[in-house]
Structures are given as structure tokens and as C-alpha cells.
Amino acid sequence: MKRTLCTLLFVALGLGAQQVHFTAVDIFVDSPNAPLAAYQLEFVAHGNQVRIAGIEGGEHDAFKTPPFYDPKAMQQERVILAALNAAQPGKLPTGKTRVATVHLQFAGPQPPTFSLKLQTAADSEGTIISVQTTFTERGRYE
């Protein structure tokens, strides 16, 4: 009882509480030479007390549905995202397209940093293609 009262007092005084922040990170795949039909990549948020809060799909119709991911892995700071669309090449994106958005929650004064690693990408024939992956943080909010 005494410990609970002390904890509540620290939180009420702001001594034990940390501000919670949120951010969204857009993930892009740039396939300049072939229609993008499939990709798999690893996204990691580096920092203390950071969690992936949600994942949404991309901007092109071929990738509007959220990518596949492991919901348990999503509870941490690392997730592997994968998507496949078997549409005809004319219905697949070529060039830079946002394939997903990752929403994150973090605490403390230091914002997280991010890394992105491509594992594979393929065209509609299943041929591995050369692509570039990038990300952009949309902004932070509380």
C-alpha cells in the first residue's frame, strides 16, 4: 500500500511519468525499371521504449491492403513487411511508390531512429528485380 501511494505521488508530481509521443513513417520502394509485384523488407525503430502501434497499406491500388507481418513481432521495435500482388504489369506500380506506413509510439525525450533493409523484390513474372527502399518520417505528435 505504501509503495503504491509513493508511485502515485511520483506520477502525480510528474517525477515518474514520461511523455508519450507518436510518429508515422512512410516506407517507399522505387522500382524504376520494372513493375513491382512483390517485396519483403525489415523495418526497425531504434530507441528506448519504442513500439510499433500499427501498420497500414500504401498509396497505389496494388498495395493499398496492409502488408503481411507477424503481429507478435509488431509488438516490439522490429517487423518484417511483405506483400505480393499478382495483377497484370499494367496494374502494378513502376517508380517510387509508398508501400506502407508504420505508426510508432515512444516515450522519453529522445526520438527513435529508423533503419530499413530490403530482403527481396520481384516483378509479375517472379523475377527478382533491383529496387531502392527509403523511408520518410511524417512528423511527431502527442
pLDDT per residue as tens, the chain (142 positions): 434 333 333 344 343 467 899 999 999 999 999 999 999 999 999 987 899 999 999 999 999 999 999 888 777 789 999 999 999 999 999 999 999 999 999 998 888 999 999 999 999 999 999 999 999 999 777 6
CATH number at residue 126: 2.60.40.680
Torsion of CA 83, 85, 90, 93, to 10 degrees: -10
Looking at the domain assignment, is residue 28 inside a domain? Answer: yes
CA atoms 11, 12, 15, 18: torsion sign: positive
Q: Check if the beta carbon of residue 25 is closer than 8 Å to that of residue 104.
A: yes
Instruction: Say how many domains are in the chain.
Output: 1
| 7 phi, psi to nearest 5 deg | -65, -45
Kindly state whether residue 94 falls inside one of the protein's structural domains.
Answer: yes
Residues 12 and 135: beta-carbon distance below 8 Å: no
Enter the pTM of the model.
Answer: 0.84
